[in-house]
């Protein structure tokens, strides 16, 4: 039986006065892969970045919950985002929540592989170090090995952990970033188009990896490629012009979309 | 296509105009280059001789009578040192010179004879006695510096064909020194002490050790103050400050400070640090504080540029792992920006090294005959020493000031070279 | 004194380890904001900050003590003044200990110490950014304060409207002219004369260099000649001063004598020429930027109409780049007016009211140096006059810079 990890309610983001995403509500299941699809600028990345409060760092971005204004017949943003995103039932936008601690639990992998200009070992060990997850050097070594193994990279790099992370190939770098993210001990891993900068073989390896990882982590992935969403995800949500159009089990959504816009998008008529 | 006579003429005219215009640029650059070459050439030719000095081998008789020390008596160490320190070495030097030229009888001529040797001889002699290399009763041979006039003459800067009254070295002195040269008692040796001795009223004994150490202390204070403050300010403005009126105001301030004449910073140091806060005059501490205020804008602007050039993906990566903004900056942004920050800092320090006017304002222009031991001792600095020596009437000092310029330009070359290397390496990455 | 400094350092180190150990005992059950490292860093930050604050407070108190207030026992004053560093450090130590105890007892298991630490760090950085503002305030305050005292002694109209500058006479109070010889007019004339000569040299040389480098020179020539200008900019002004005083001034005097013209051995011309060479890089680098910012399409438009390259440069590029070039010239002028060492060494000390470049003139900066070198009573009109001149200099350079930067900024925005 699947449980709900994130429960999102009427989430809205404005960039200064420009609307980034409006009135999105959805549930994201624990230990499943949820894919977010849609055309460029549809708000799917914005949504992803709300789940670990990365948008807090953009001064002009304002995350809030919206309400329906009967007079204007429109959704209007409220003053803050209290209650807009619940994680395991806890409000991650509550004033008492430290966004830094939240991001330890909700890790992130980015579009372009971005390893630190440090050794492979230090890349993976960074999270455990700042969060004090390892008491001794042995424990740290163990975490690094486990994370690299989970990311399917251990056998490839175990003899050159001291080499810079930037010396790896693109696909390896991205797996290093995944290893780095899971070494920090998260419950959720957010992936923002993780394969868009990779070749098909590297993409295949990472997709396989995601299948493994969902045993331990909740994964939310933004992807450009509908076939990728179809291959890897359990559930898929389709965004259009900043709004959530449809969300369903992946097979259901692709084979039998309820909405015409969804139908148009997955059949390649626009987007 | 055929062109009329008129058109051909016009075309030729336009072509010459084109060449002429182009040559203006080459001429302008040529003049700038020629100026630079002349400057370097004159500094080099005037200054190079100051690194050598002439020495004479003189035999000194450390007689009991002159030294006023009884070799048979047993003194305590302290007493002996006191006696050895206060012995009349000037008379011993004169005795040695009279003994070298026994024919000289006239008082006036004897006076000339005594002036041939620098008072550095007395110091060398005293040190030899104090260190136990020479003893009372010895006949002690030592290479000692000659006077600055004689040195200048030996270096060929005084024309012996001028009438005697118009030159500082008299006929009899020339005669004597030739005699010494014939006996191989004069040599020219590289003056290592020039880099370690303090300033002196006597050109042949003046060194730039005090100035070099003073400049070192100045740069040390400047570095220790301007780098932490500058880098912290840059981090704040680049990473944490929101764009508003207040940060705009800070930015305008920084830009304006970068253009305030250096002498104004000197006035600030005089009024604030010396008169109001009561810090010691002529000390590298105050000089360094003034210079660091001057260098601060350079460090801040360079650091901001370096920090802004760090790719944002690096920040995202760290933030995404749960690092706080402060950790992100300290662990990831700063190390990557470091070469750029260092380059800017070195360039700022290089400018601070050559800065003279503010130091004059806070009294670092005084004559200081000792090498400073700490940042609160009165001290000179390289550029100020150059300024002081150039103003002196003795020719030897002018040569010394040019030699000091060579040393200072050498330091600047090393600093700027390091900065250029760092920048080059950072660009390669 | 060193013992005290050592104790403060030891306290800082010890407090780190104490806090680290204590937080370690609180165990791993707490969240990440309670890592032992943060406790250690937090306490050590405050210990060091407090000792700095203590030292600053002590230094400020000594300003008061040095005035020998009557409410203090003279013996106590003597004792305090005898060893200022010791007492300052002692106060530092007291502050540091207080900070340690405060932090020690106010942090508990579960305190959000990382957030406190980072807020502290951010505040310290803000203070560092404020140093630039404080410097400006300090400059203005010291200039205005001392100049105000000067204008109490010498009326401002005597300072502005007259023709005689001879501060030396003011020392002898028995003289008739004891108080009436401070007047900026000759200095202003001298400063402007020298700056004008300098610009006369620097503007054509700098501008033509920039044009050649940005429009004609091949990349190879550019890489070899650009450093030439950078070296010109990097040479300390005292070296230019030596050059002016030892080489250029005697040369001008001698060649003047050859042609039967009397040239003073310290002439405005010598100082101006060398200063001109010094400020070439200011003109050339900003002109270079401005010329390169002119869009290619403008050039192509002109070349496409059959203009030659030089015609394009003269009629299209330079007019388009003019604001940037003017900005560079203004900056160079501000440098020339504020430059000190060249004029001190080559321009002369006597205040002649003349525009003849072959005579010696004096400038603001020279007189500031002359007035303040040597041991003077700080309260004399002579010394204070330097600050009145300083205000003049500060305002003039500030205004020039303001307009220069404004022009350049607006020019850049135009092509962005």
Distance from CA of B147 to the nearest CA of C (A): 24
Q: Does the beta-carbon distance from B321 to A126 stay under 8 Å?
A: yes
In this structure, the strands spanning A61-69 and A243-249 are unpaired
Q: Does the beta-carbon distance from A181 to B320 stay under 8 Å?
A: yes
Domain ranges across chain C: 2-153, 185-414
**Domain range spanning residue A37?**
4-266
Name the closest residue on chain B to residue A185, using Cα atoms: B321
Distance, in Å, from the CA atom of C47 to the CA atom of C117, rounded to the nearest integer, reads 13
Q: Does A132 touch chain C (CB under 8 A)?
A: yes
Q: Does the beta-carbon distance from B319 to A103 stay under 8 Å?
A: yes
Chains near A, with 3+ CB pairs < 8 A? Answer: B, C
Q: Does the beta-carbon distance from A107 to B313 stay under 8 Å?
A: no
Give the model's pLDDT for residue C195.
95
Digit-coded pLDDT (tens) for A17-42: 888 888 899 999 999 999 999 888 88
Q: Does A131 touch chain B (CB under 8 A)?
A: yes
Q: Does the beta-carbon distance from C31 to A135 stay under 8 Å?
A: no
ipTM attached to this prediction:
0.90
Name the closest residue on chain C to residue B290, using Cα atoms: C135
Q: CB-CB: which of C35, C112, C115 is closest to A132?
A: C35
Provide, as residue numbers in chain A, all residues whose Cβ is less than 8 Å from the Cβ of B321.
Answer: 103-104, 107-108, 126-127, 130, 180-181, 184
Q: Does C185-414 carry CATH code 3.30.420.10?
A: no
Distance, in Å, from the CA atom of C93 to the CA atom of A138, rounded to the nearest integer, reads 40
Digit-coded pLDDT (tens) for A50-92: 999 988 888 788 888 888 888 888 888 888 888 889 999 899 9
Q: Does A89 touch chain C (CB under 8 A)?
A: no
Provide, as residue numbers in chain C, all residues whose Cβ is less than 8 Å from the Cβ of B277.
Answer: 59, 63
Distance from CA of B368 to the nearest CA of C (A): 13
Q: What residue spans of B355-394 are helical by DSSP H?
A: 357-361, 382-390
Distance from CA of B324 to the nearest CA of A (A): 6
Window 274-293 of C, Cβ < 8 Å to B: 277, 280
Q: Does B333 touch chain A (CB under 8 A)?
A: no
Distance, in Å, from the CA atom of B350 to the CA atom of B227, rounded to the nearest integer, reads 14
Spatial CB neighbours of C404, under 8 Å, sequence gap ≥ 6? C326, C327, C328, C330, C331, C334
In this structure, the strands spanning A4-15 and A106-109 are unpaired
**Residue C119 CB neighbour total at 10 angstroms:** 12
Mean pLDDT for B183-191 is 89
Provide, as residue numbers in chain A, all residues whose Cβ is less than 8 Å from the Cβ of B320.
Answer: 52, 54, 103, 107-110, 181
pLDDT over 50 at A271, yes or no: no
Closest CA to C257 of C267, C246, C242: C267
Name the closest residue on chain A to residue B336, using Cα atoms: A117
Q: What is the 3-state secondary structure (H, E, C) of chain C?
A: CHHHHHHHHHHHHHHHHHHHHHHHHHCCCCCHHHCHHHHHHHHHHHHHHHHHHHHHHHHHHHHHHHCCCCCCCHHHHHHHHHCHHHHHHHHHHHHHHHHHHHHHHHCCCCCCHHHHHHHHHHHHHHHHHHHHHHHHHHHHHHHHHHHHHHHHHCCHHHHHCCCCCCHHHHHCCCCHHHCCCCCCHHHHHHHHHHHHHHHHHHHHHHHHHHHHHHHHCCHHHHHHHHHHHHHHHHCCHHHHHHHHHHHHHHHHHHHHHHCCCCCCCCCHHHHHHHHHHHHHHHHHHHHHHHHHHCCHHHHHHHHHCCCCHHHHHHHHHHHHHHHHHHHHHHHHHHHHHHCCHHHHHHCCCCCCCCCCCCCCCCCHHHHHHHHHCCCCCCCCHHHHHHHHHHHHHHHHHHHHHHHHHHHHHHHHHHCC
**What average pLDDT does the structure give for chain A?**
89
In this structure, what token pair is assigned to residue B93? 């030097």
Closest CA to C271 of C204, C187, C193: C193
Are C190 and C268 a contacting pair, CB within 8 Å? yes
Q: Does the beta-carbon distance from C398 to B260 stay under 8 Å?
A: yes
Provide, as residue numbers in chain B, all residues whose Cβ is less than 8 Å from the Cβ of C231.
Answer: 36
Q: Does the beta-carbon distance from B387 to C368 stay under 8 Å?
A: no
Distance from CA of C301 to the nearest CA of B (A): 18
Name the closest residue on chain C to residue A135, using Cα atoms: C28
Q: CB-CB: which of C59, C242, C311 is closest to B386?
A: C242
Provide, as residue numbers in chain A, all residues whose Cβ is less than 8 Å from the Cβ of B331.
Answer: 126, 130
Instruction: Return averaged pLDDT per consecutive 10 residues of chain C, 416 residues in all.
Output: 86 86 68 70 91 90 80 82 86 92 83 85 94 93 91 79 65 48 83 94 94 90 86 93 92 89 85 94 91 89 87 90 91 93 87 80 90 72 87 92 87 77
Digit-coded pLDDT (tens) for B83-123: 888 888 888 888 888 888 888 888 888 888 888 888 888 88
Q: Does the beta-carbon distance from B322 to A108 stay under 8 Å?
A: no
Mean pLDDT for A221-243 is 91
Give the model's pLDDT for residue A61.
85
Residue C164 — left, alpha, or beta (φ > 0 → left; ψ -120 to 50 → alpha)? beta
Residue with tokens 């030396």: C168
**What average pLDDT does the structure give for chain B?**
89
Q: Please, which pLDDT band fits residue B331 given cuts at 50, 70 and 90?
A: very high
Q: Does B321 touch chain A (CB under 8 A)?
A: yes
Give the model's pLDDT for residue C176.
46
Give the model's pLDDT for residue B336.
93
Provide, as residue numbers in chain B, all residues whose Cβ is less than 8 Å from the Cβ of A54.
Answer: 316, 319-320
**CA-atom Rg of chain C in angstroms:** 30
Q: Does B175 touch chain A (CB under 8 A)?
A: no
Q: Does C386 touch chain B (CB under 8 A)?
A: yes
| C-alpha dist (Å) from residue C19 to A213, C92, C155 | 39, 21, 63
Q: Does A135 touch chain C (CB under 8 A)?
A: yes
The architecture (CATH level 2) of B209-428 comes to: Orthogonal Bundle (1.10)
Residues β-bridged to residue B338 = none
Q: Does the beta-carbon distance from B320 to A54 stay under 8 Å?
A: yes
Q: Does C124 touch chain B (CB under 8 A)?
A: yes
Q: Does A271 fall in a domain?
A: no
Window 67-126 of C, Cβ < 8 Å to A: 112, 114-115
CATH number at residue A251: 3.40.50.300
Q: CB-CB: which of B242, B316, B324 is closest to A110?
A: B316
B198 vs C170, residue with greater confidence: B198
Preferred mutation among B28, B219, B334 to probe C, highest tally of C CBs within 10 A? B28
| Phi then psi dihedrals of residue A25, to 5 deg | -130, 130
Closest CA to A168 of A184, A150, A148, A187: A148
* CATH 1.10.3720.10 location in chain B: 209-428
Provide, as residue numbers in chain A, all residues whose Cβ is less than 8 Å from the Cβ of C28.
Answer: 132, 135
Domain count, chain A: 1
Closest CA to B73 of B141, B10, B5, B136: B136
Name the closest residue on chain A to residue B244, using Cα atoms: A59
Q: Does the beta-carbon distance from C32 to A135 stay under 8 Å?
A: no
Name the closest residue on chain A to residue C31, using Cα atoms: A101
A96 burial via Cβ count (<10 Å: 0-12, 13-18, 19+) = exposed
Distance, in Å, from the CA atom of C185 to the CA atom of C392, rounded to the nearest integer, reads 12
Provide, as residue numbers in chain C, all residues whose Cβ is less than 8 Å from the Cβ of B21.
Answer: 310, 313-314
């Amino acid at each position: 039986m699947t449980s709900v990890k994130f429960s999102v309610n009427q989430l809205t983001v404005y960039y200064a006065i420009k609307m980034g995403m409006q009135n999105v509500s959805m549930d994201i299941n624990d230990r499943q892969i949820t894919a977010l699809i849609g055309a460029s600028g549809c708000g799917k990345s914005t949504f992803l970045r709300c789940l670990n409060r990365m948008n807090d760092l953009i001064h002009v971005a304002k995350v809030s919950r919206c309400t329906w204004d009967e007079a204007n017949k429109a959704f209007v943003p409220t003053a803050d985002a209290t209650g807009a995103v619940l994680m395991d039932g806890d409000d991650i936008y509550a004033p008492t929540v430290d966004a830094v601690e939240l991001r330890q639990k909700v890790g992130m992998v980015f579009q372009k592989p971005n390893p630190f200009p440090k050794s492979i070992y230090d890349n993976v060990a960074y999270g455990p170090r700042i969060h004090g997850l390892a008491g001794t050097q042995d424990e740290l070594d163990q975490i690094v090995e486990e994370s690299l193994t989970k990311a399917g990279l251990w056998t490839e790099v175990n003899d050159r952990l001291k080499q810079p992370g930037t010396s790896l190939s693109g696909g390896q770098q991205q797996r290093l970033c995944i290893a780095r993210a899971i070494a920090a001990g998260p419950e959720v891993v957010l992936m923002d188009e993780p394969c868009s900068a990779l070749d098909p073989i590297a993409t295949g390896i990472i997709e396989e990896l995601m299948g493994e990882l969902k045993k331990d982590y909740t994964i939310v992935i933004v992807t450009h490629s509908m076939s990728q969403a179809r291959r890897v995800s359990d559930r898929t949500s389709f965004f259009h012009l900043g709004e959530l159009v449809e969300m369903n089990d992946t097979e259901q959504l692709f084979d039998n979309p309820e909405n015409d816009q969804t139908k148009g998008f997955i059949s390649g008529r626009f987007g | 296509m055929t062109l009329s006579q008129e058109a051909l003429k016009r075309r030729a005219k336009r072509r010459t105009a084109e060449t002429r215009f182009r040559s203006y640029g080459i001429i302008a650059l040529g003049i700038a280059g020629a100026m630079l070459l002349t400057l370097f050439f004159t500094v080099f030719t005037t200054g190079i001789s100051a690194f050598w000095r002439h020495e004479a081998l003189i035999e000194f008789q450390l007689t009991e009578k002159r030294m006023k020390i009884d070799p048979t008596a047993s003194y305590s160490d302290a007493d002996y040192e006191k006696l050895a320190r206060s012995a009349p070495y000037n008379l011993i030097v004169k005795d040695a010179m009279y003994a070298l030229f026994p024919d000289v009888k006239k008082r006036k001529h004897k006076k000339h004879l005594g002036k041939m040797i620098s008072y550095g001889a007395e110091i060398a002699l005293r040190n030899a006695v104090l260190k136990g290399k020479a003893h009372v009763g010895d006949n002690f041979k030592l290479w000692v510096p000659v006077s600055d006039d004689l040195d200048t003459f030996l270096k060929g800067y005084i024309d012996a064909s001028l009438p005697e009254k118009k030159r500082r070295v008299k006929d009899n002195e020339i005669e004597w020194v030739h005699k010494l040269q014939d006996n191989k008692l004069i040599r020219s040796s590289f003056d290592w002490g020039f880099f370690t001795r303090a300033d002196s009223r006597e050109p042949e004994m003046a060194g730039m050790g005090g100035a070099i150490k003073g400049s070192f202390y100045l740069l040390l204070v400047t570095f220790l103050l301007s780098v932490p403050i500058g880098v912290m300010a840059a981090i704040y403005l680049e990473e944490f400050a929101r764009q508003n009126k207040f940060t705009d105001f800070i930015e305008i301030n920084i830009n304006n400070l970068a253009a305030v004449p250096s002498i104004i910073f000197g006035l600030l140091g005089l009024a604030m640090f010396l008169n109001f806060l009561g810090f010691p005059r002529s000390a590298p501490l105050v000089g360094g504080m003034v210079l660091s205020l001057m260098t601060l804008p350079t460090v801040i602007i360079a650091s901001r540029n370096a920090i802004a050039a760090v790719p944002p993906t690096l920040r995202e990566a760290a933030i995404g792992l749960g690092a706080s903004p402060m950790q992100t900056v300290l662990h990831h942004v700063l190390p990557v920006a470091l070469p750029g920050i260092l380059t800017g800092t070195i360039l700022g320090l290089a400018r601070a090294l050559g800065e003279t006017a503010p130091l004059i304002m806070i009294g670092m222009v005084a004559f200081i005959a000792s090498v400073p031991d700490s940042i609160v001792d009165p001290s000179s600095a390289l550029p100020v020493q150059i300024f002081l020596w150039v103003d002196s009437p003795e020719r030897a000092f002018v040569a010394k000031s040019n030699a000091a310029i060579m040393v200072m330009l050498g330091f600047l070359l090393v600093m700027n070279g390091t900065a250029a290397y760092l920048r080059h390496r950072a660009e390669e990455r | 004194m060193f013992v005290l400094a050592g104790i403060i350092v030891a306290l800082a180190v010890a407090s780190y380890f104490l806090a680290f150990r204590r937080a370690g005992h609180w165990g791993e059950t707490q969240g990440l904001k309670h890592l032992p490292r943060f406790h250690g860093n937090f306490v050590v930050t405050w210990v060091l900050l407090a000792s700095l604050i203590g030292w600053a407070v002590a230094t400020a108190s000594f300003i008061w003590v040095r005035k020998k207030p009557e409410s203090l026992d003279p013996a106590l004053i003597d004792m305090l003044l005898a060893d200022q560093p010791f007492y300052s450090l002692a106060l530092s130590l007291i502050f540091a200990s207080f900070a340690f105890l405060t932090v020690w007892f106010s942090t508990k298991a579960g305190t959000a110490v990382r957030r406190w630490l980072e807020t502290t760090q951010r505040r310290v950085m803000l203070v560092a950014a404020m140093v630039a503002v404080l410097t400006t305030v300090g400059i203005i305050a010291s200039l205005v304060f001392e100049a105000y005292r000067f204008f109490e002694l010498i009326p401002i109209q005597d300072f502005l409207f007259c023709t005689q500058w001879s501060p030396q006479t003011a020392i002898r109070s028995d003289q008739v002219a004891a108080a009436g010889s401070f007047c900026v007019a000759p200095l202003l004339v001298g400063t402007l004369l020298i700056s004008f000569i300098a610009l006369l040299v620097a503007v054509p040389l700098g501008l033509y260099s920039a044009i050649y480098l940005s429009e004609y020179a091949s990349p190879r020539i550019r890489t070899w000649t650009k450093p030439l200008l950078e070296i010109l900019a990097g040479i300390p002004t005292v070296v230019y001063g030596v050059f002016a005083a030892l080489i250029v001034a005697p040369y001008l005097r001698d060649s003047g004598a050859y042609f039967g013209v009397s040239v003073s051995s310290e002439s405005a011309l010598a100082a101006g020429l060398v200063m001109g060479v010094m400020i070439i890089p200011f003109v050339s680098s900003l002109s270079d930027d401005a010329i390169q910012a002119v869009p290619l399409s403008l050039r192509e438009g002109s070349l496409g109409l059959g203009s030659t390259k030089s015609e394009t440069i003269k009629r299209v590029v330079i007019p388009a780049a003019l604001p940037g070039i003017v900005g560079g010239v203004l900056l160079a002028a501000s440098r020339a007016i504020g430059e000190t060492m060249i004029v001190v060494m080559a321009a002369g000390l006597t205040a002649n009211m003349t525009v003849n470049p072959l005579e010696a003139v004096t400038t603001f900066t020279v007189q500031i140096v002359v007035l303040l070198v040597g041991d003077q009573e700080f309260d004399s009109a002579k010394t204070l006059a330097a600050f009145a001149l300083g205000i003049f200099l500060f305002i003039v350079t500030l205004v020039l810079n303001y307009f220069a930067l404004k022009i350049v900024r607006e020019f850049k925005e135009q092509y962005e």
